[in-house]
Structure 1
Amino acid sequence: MSLPFPSPSIPAADRTEVFLRYLDFFRESTVEKASALPEGELRTSRLASGWTPLELLKHLRYVELRWIEWGFEGRDVPDPWGDRRDDRWYVAPEETLDGLVAELRAQGEHTRAVVSAADLDAVAPPGPRWAGAAPATLERILFHLVQEYARHLGHLDIVAELAGGPVGE
């Protein structure tokens, strides 16, 4: 499912819709880019940092979970750092592309529902996500999520090009 780039020239109902369009676009672009890679490239790293495309997908799902559920909603999340093991991203051998994509998309649907029902000026409740710092507004959280997705999609662009996969937007 290719989504069009959310061009600034396309009218949006409000700032919330702008954020959601960018998040949806970057999330789906990441899925499409990873899904187009040959199977052998999904669990292989081509970078000195050592992450794999599957690890990136899982990481992005947990990024949304940490910022929206654990942070903005203040929910108890049993393992907010479940994308990590031994201080690096981790995907278990039994985890699959299809499963990770489904989890990422489900997390995205949750994000969309939460954001659509809230005000961008709403401040998250205090809680462990903030580690003693003042909680952020939803708008600030969404800005962070957009930059996180854009940055990591750029990383995946490089990996895909090195692996002979699709390049460009």
Structure 2
Amino acid sequence: MIPFPEPTAPAGNRTEVFLRYLDYFRESTVAKVSALAEPELRRSRLPSGWTPLELLTHLRHVELRWIEWGFQGRDVADPWGDRRDDRWYVTPEETREDLVAALRAQGEHTSAVVTAHDLAEIGAPGPRWNGADPASLERVLFHLVQEYARHLGHLDVVAELAGGPVGE
């Protein structure tokens, strides 16, 4: 497990700080889901109905939407591929291993893009921005950090209810 990126740990620049937090939250999410028993992966313990596997695919698509479809302005075939009928979704054939691999691969892509660009660089125009001016890479990264932190907190509660690991 990646250690928490303490605010007092030296970093070369803000890019490194963002990537440390994203890596920490991504791998903490993987660790929580990996520690759950197989039946808990597709079971929801919350009124909203999402499952731990659905959370994994959601976070992968969040990075896809904000980095590739948004900042890079790439044509993405199905940027909302984590959703069916207005809720998160995974097919019965998708496994924990598949989804973890996809999330990590997306994280590697995010890291490559982030290290190749300045944080002040403005994203490419495209449909991700819904007609608004594109955001800077730094703003996109702030959004990704809050998305991961919020959902990891949700997963902490679900893991505890499922008898999985508690706390950091």
Output the amino acid matched with 2:121.
Answer: A
| TM-score normalised by structure 2 residue count | 1.00
Aligned counterparts, 1:148-167, within 5 A: 148-167=147-166
RMSD: 0.3
Give the secondary structure class of the aligned counterpart of 1:9. coil
Output the amino acid matched with 2:35.
Answer: A
The question of 1:43 aligning with 2:56 is answered no
CA distance in 2, matches of 1:141, 1:62: 14
Aligned to 1:137: 136
Any idea what the Cα deviations from partners look like across 1:9-56, whole Å, max 9, x if unmatched?
A: 100000000000000000000000001000000000000000000000
| Alpha-carbon offset, residue 101 of structure 1 | 0.1
| Alpha-carbon offset, residue 125 of structure 1 | 1.2
Any idea what the Cα deviations from partners look like across 1:116-144, whole Å, max 9, x if unmatched?
A: 00000000011000010111000000000
Aligned to 1:77: 76
CA distance in 1, matches of 2:97, 2:140: 27
**Greater mean alpha carbon deviation, residues 44-53 or residues 126-135:** 126-135
Aligned to 2:3: 4
| TM-score normalised by structure 1 residue count | 0.99
Output the amino acid matched with 1:22.
Answer: Y
Output the amino acid matched with 1:51.
Answer: W
Aligned to 1:111: 110
CA distance in 1, matches of 2:105, 2:125: 25
Segments of 5+ residues of structure 2 without an aligned counterpart are none
Identity over the aligned pairs, expressed in percent? Answer: 79
The question of 1:33 aligning with 2:29 is answered no
Segments of 5+ residues of structure 1 without an aligned counterpart are none
| Alpha-carbon offset, residue 158 of structure 1 | 0.1
Pairs aligned (count): 168
CA distance in 2, matches of 1:135, 1:114: 16
Aligned counterparts, 1:16-27, within 5 A: 16-27=15-26
